[in-house]
Chains A and B, each alone.
Chain A
């Protein structure tokens, strides 16, 4: 059974450009999470969706970040405009239900020059 799928795996872009990260959760999971990993802060929860509805976006750093989940099998995290300090690994995770074990995708390594 396929796990959480993320694309692209690597992204290099220039400051000011729009970046879109994509995630396909495990089929049947109704909760989806976006995390950002940095050396200084570890894994930080950015946003949590339950049944495609954003429940908690308190971790989204600023208005440049937005996330959508148009259906149960797809989510995007968009950064516009991107800045060098956004460089990090972005993980998507899903779980059967909110409090359940979270299954992480392989991550997208983003470098903003």
Chain B
């Protein structure tokens, strides 16, 4: 049973617009969340993280929002650029001090020029 779900396998967005990637989780013990970005033929690379003590974390064009009561997080990319086209994975753990992350299945984002 998937504890971390990314229900949209793909998403297309026009360049300059906002991209919103969603992630839902079922384990209420999850305390720390990550987003990874993956280009074709490359491994995933760390993008941004958020701890459950916060509901928002921002890094340049990337913002992650966490809604603990809904067990939902989202990654916003504003403005979207063609270079953002990639697969995005969310991941969760029960402890930021752990090595063990549960990953979602990924969402493929395509930013159209």
Residues of A participating in the B interface, judged by any CB pair closer than 8 Å = 3-4, 9, 31, 33, 35, 39-45, 48, 56, 91, 93, 95, 98-99, 101-107
Contacts and interface: CB of A to CB of B under 8 A. Distances in A.
Interface string B65-91: 000000000000000000000000101
A101 B44 CA distance: 11
B95 to A, nearest CB: 8
Interface string B38-69: 00011111100000000000000000000000
14 contacts: A41-B2, A42-B103, A43-B44, A43-B91, A45-B100, A91-B43, A91-B44, A99-B97, A102-B46, A103-B43, A103-B46, A104-B43, A105-B43, A107-B42
B43 A4 contact: yes
A4 B43 CA distance: 9
A42 B104 contact: yes
A39 B43 contact: no
B100 A107 contact: no
A87 to B, nearest CB: 16
Contacts of A48: 99-100
Contact of B105 (A40, A56, A95, A103): A40
B30 to A, nearest CB: 15
B43 A41 contact: no
A92 B96 CA distance: 21
A107 to B, nearest CB: 6
Nearest to A93: B43
B98 A42 contact: no
Contacts of A91: 43-44
B98 A99 contact: yes
